Structure 1
Amino acid sequence: MGTSEALQEALRPGGIRSVYQPLVHLETGQILGYEALGRGPQDSPLEAPTKLLAAARPAGLLAEVDWACRTAAFQGALDADMGNTSTLFVNVEPDVAVEAPRQHRELLDRAGAELRVILEVTERAVISRPAELLRLVDWARARSWGIALDDVGSNPLCLALMPFLEPDVIKLDLRVVQGRPTAEVGLIVSAVMSEAERSGATVVAEGIETEEHLQAALALGAVAGQGWLFGRPGPLPSPIPSSPDTIALLRVPASPAEQTPFSVVRSARPLRQGDKRLLLGIATYLEEQATAWHDGPVILSTFQDQDEIEAVTLERYATLAGRGSLVVALGRGMSAEPAPGVVGSALPHKHRLSEEWSVVVVGPHYAGALVARQRKGTRIGGEERWDFAVTHDRSLVVAAGRALLRQVAPDEQKLDTLASTRPAGA
């Protein structure tokens, strides 16, 4: 059976099925839930989920395949009477529309009413589809579902992006669990423990196949785990065991879609007035902090117009992007790549962000932001005046950055390239 034939076979009723792998509490051994893993037609070239999705995307059938995988996961759990005493993990592609196709809505409504669901996204999605991913998170949490960030550690850039997503579950990549301790593993573990301590997220270790892996997972701060030591993917058991232990959901409040960095910080910090020279000095300081790090910080900036960005700023941004950082610039007339490696996103002329100047810098262990808005018709000594605030409060900085990430609409091919070529040790 060829790839094209196998793809059509997969999209026929029953062509995609789910198998389920247990997640257990590492201290008690109690089963906390199951991850649903999609499978294409048996013994076909697309039986493995990675090959199935890889074939679906260029064929323009990603949405159909992704929804078929989701519905197979839900249907299998409902048929097994999983209920809400166990947790179902379902993998999703964030660039697929969140609203279900008509033929799947009844099943989705039933799953929402009867199951306890956590949607699982890969760290690559955080890099390549930030705006779409945040919309998916809002959609899931409006239904009281959770979010898990998968494969954490396979790309260090994801570490700085974790707080923007605020996952309920952080899943350590199997290479972190099975590999030898290194300085990079230390960086990953430190960042994950810091985020879990701050937010209350549950840390899950993947790829636990031996007792040695189990001890490593516990040392890395994992509370739960999955892997062949506890069970291989297969049918759900009957009956499904219930457990007094559960994976907590964080109940993160939704952020208003119309927020801007200035509105976020203004509500919590006093404003000051200054001229452009002062603001440029503060912005430069924040950006230069990022150049001293080696753990893939995120830099998000707004400018009124692209032609107002100084050449030295673009050079600094290109240097950061070349070292593996996610660097985003938004503004009127912004090109898709205002500097090598920098993600550009053009704003409409009268967009609410077009009158602001923001620089948001977030690393695993540092956060800082400048937010400013021009005062109309106010000049002193011929200089324009700005209302501004500076904050290093991590929650405020992340909220300001999230408001910018929601507006990122860059060239999709460029972002896919960035996500796939980030240096693993940057």
Structure 2
Amino acid sequence: MADGSERAALDALLRERAVEPIYQPIVDLDSGDVIGLEALARGPAGSPLERPDALFAAARREGRLAEVDSLCRGRAVQDAFAAGLAGPLALFVNVEPLTVATRLTPMAASSDLARRGVHVVAEFTERDLTADPARLFAFADQVRAHGFHIALDDVGAHPASLALMPFLRPEVVKLDLRLVQARPGPEVAEIMSAIAAYAEHSGALVLAEGVENADHLATARSLGATLGQGWLFGTGARAEEILPRLRAPRRVPSWQSPAPPVPRSSPFAAVARARTSRRATAPLLLSVSHFLERQAEDMGELAVVVAAFERAPHVTLATRQRYRELAGKAAFVGVLGSGMAAAPEPGVRGAELARDDPVRREWIVSVVGPHFAAALVARDLDPTTPSASAGGDRSFDYVLTHHRPLVLDVARSLLARMLSDTTRDAEDVTGALMSSVGVASVPDG
């Protein structure tokens, strides 16, 4: 489609609200009961924008992704509500979270579906995890604060994002259809192991996509899925066509609720309350931090590294080189400090610490992978003396922990600080998720 005609087609689609939601069943693999529906958007029939991949690709090219995403979500919820969707069924709605701000304000009637007992699930894609993790996690916290769940879609399509999955804490993990339809191999085994570890720690539901035949169904069960979706169970239909045929499921999934967001307090103080701190000088702690960094290097794209070095001058040339090399292998590498640049090294995400932030006195290295988690959390007893990375006789109180929940809390606390103030305080001009979940808040014109 030429640029001019594509722009005109998008203009018309948005002006006329010309998207048609269809709903595909999600079933319990043991009972065969439908436990929910996923809303899928379609453009005008017969047009180049009919397929959702073509529609959203065009929206990205034209810089109108937020508008198209908001329209699709609004129509999906509006049609489901009008057709009488009620609990205990779930409604999965696809969201492009990086197109909206992180400050959500509930609109009137935004909980209409929830009051009917519907479990509303915001479905994110894997690519969102690595694009801007701090912003995504802040958005997710806001979504949950208003009573909704989160699903992570296409898990396994991009192995690096498996490392960031525990930070998003999705209640539903949707296996990429390639895992269900491809032949087993080392890569599938690695992904399967990472997902199994996450589900075991979190209690998340595992949902297999692309189940088209009995062989796919058997594979889905082998991969640990308890829910399924695909042509074997239904290709999709309009809400008024599919809902009258549904009956209440005999067994309702157990929807886990993640812990509330970690407060932006002192990570050292939080860890020291749970574990006994010890005292050591900089050379010992430097050796420990090097060991943790080597663990991350060995894990490669399944590792997340988030560190804090008090002040930017503490990051020596040797440290910069190590973190630059880590960034070329790990899924995500972030560093914080007073005076830290937004990109202190190629591939490394940096963030400035606020003047009153207690992390300005803390030396932290946290490493998280599917099967390994560790954090060195130290408080500088004399932060006015030369750099920690340079060694010397400086003393620290420290905790070295491998307790996964504690390590994740430390890393999440640091990641929350990587969300810029301008992003955190941005106005939600698109209406965010809330405008799509309340029927009264979705205009018809």
TM above 0.5: yes
Match for residue 436 of structure 2? none
What secondary structure does 2:412 align onto? helix
Match for residue 30 of structure 1? 33
Report 1:388-407 matches (<5 A).
388-407=398-417
Cα distance in 1 between the residues matched to 2:274 and 2:105: 41
Match for residue 83 of structure 1? 86
Residues 9 and 41 in structure 1, CA contact (< 8 A), matched pair in contact too: no
Deviation, 1:295, is 4.9
Residues 260 and 404 in structure 1, CA contact (< 8 A), matched pair in contact too: no
Deviation, 1:335, is 2.4
Change (3 A) 1:5 1:316: same
Deviation, 1:101, is 8.2
Cα distance in 1 between the residues matched to 2:399 and 2:384: 18
- Given candidates 381, 384, 408, the residue that maps to 2:418 is 408
Cα distance in 1 between the residues matched to 2:224 and 2:135: 30
Cα distance in 2 between the residues matched to 1:49 and 1:257: 38
Structure 2 residue 279 is matched with structure 1 residue 273? yes
Match for residue 303 of structure 1? 309
Deviation, 1:112, is 3.6
Change (3 A) 1:50 1:264: farther
Residues 168 and 248 in structure 1, CA contact (< 8 A), matched pair in contact too: no
* AA partner of residue 243 (structure 1): P
TM-score, normalised via structure 2 length: 0.85
Cα distance in 2 between the residues matched to 1:215 and 1:373: 52
Aligned residues between the structures: 408
Cα distance in 2 between the residues matched to 1:351 and 1:5: 50
Change (3 A) 1:309 1:123: same
Single out whichever of 392-401 and 370-379 deviates more from structure 2.
Answer: 370-379
Residues 86 and 113 in structure 2, CA contact (< 8 A), matched pair in contact too: no
Match for residue 220 of structure 2? 217
Residues 63 and 97 in structure 1, CA contact (< 8 A), matched pair in contact too: no
Match for residue 75 of structure 2? 72
* AA partner of residue 388 (structure 1): Y
What secondary structure does 2:299 align onto? coil
Cα distance in 2 between the residues matched to 1:395 and 1:101: 30
* AA partner of residue 110 (structure 1): D
Change (3 A) 1:139 1:378: closer
* AA partner of residue 398 (structure 1): L
Deviation, 1:204, is 0.5
* AA partner of residue 76 (structure 1): D
- Given candidates 215, 222, 243, the residue that maps to 1:238 is 243
What secondary structure does 1:383 align onto? coil
Report 1:331-350 matches (<5 A).
331-350=337-356
For structure 2, the residue ranges without an aligned partner over 5 or more in a row are 386-391, 423-445
* AA partner of residue 135 (structure 1): A
Q: Which structure has the higher relative contact order (CA within 8 Å, separation 6+)?
A: 2
Single out whichever of 51-60 and 213-222 deviates more from structure 2.
Answer: 51-60
Residues 144 and 251 in structure 1, CA contact (< 8 A), matched pair in contact too: no
- Given candidates 169, 175, 178, the residue that maps to 1:175 is 178
Structure 2 residue 101 is matched with structure 1 residue 97? yes
Structure 1 stretches of 4+ moved >6 Å: none
What secondary structure does 1:203 align onto? strand
Cα distance in 2 between the residues matched to 1:52 and 1:353: 44
Structure 2 residue 154 is matched with structure 1 residue 151? yes
Deviation, 1:171, is 0.6
Deviation, 1:156, is 1.1
Cα distance in 1 between the residues matched to 2:327 and 2:230: 35
Deviation, 1:99, is 5.5
What secondary structure does 2:164 align onto? helix
Single out whichever of 74-83 and 238-247 deviates more from structure 2.
Answer: 238-247
What secondary structure does 1:270 align onto? coil
Deviation, 1:273, is 2.1
Structure 2 residue 388 is matched with structure 1 residue 383? no
Report 1:227-266 matches (<5 A).
227-236=230-239, 237-239=242-244, 240-266=246-272
Cα distance in 2 between the residues matched to 1:321 and 1:37: 36
- Which digits, 9 at most, give the CA deviation of each residue in 1:372-391, with x for residues without a partner? 22224798xx8332222110
Change (3 A) 1:260 1:74: farther
Cα distance in 2 between the residues matched to 1:330 and 1:9: 46
Single out whichever of 82-91 and 11-20 deviates more from structure 2.
Answer: 11-20
Structure 2 residue 318 is matched with structure 1 residue 312? yes
- Which digits, 9 at most, give the CA deviation of each residue in 1:134-162, with x for residues without a partner? 22222222232211111110111122212
Structure 2 residue 290 is matched with structure 1 residue 290? no
Report 1:344-363 matches (<5 A).
344-363=350-369
- Given candidates 187, 190, 193, the residue that maps to 2:190 is 187
Cα distance in 2 between the residues matched to 1:323 and 1:137: 26
Match for residue 106 of structure 1? 108
Residues 381 and 396 in structure 2, CA contact (< 8 A), matched pair in contact too: yes
- RMSD between superposed Cα atoms in Å: 2.4
Single out whichever of 153-162 and 233-242 deviates more from structure 2.
Answer: 233-242
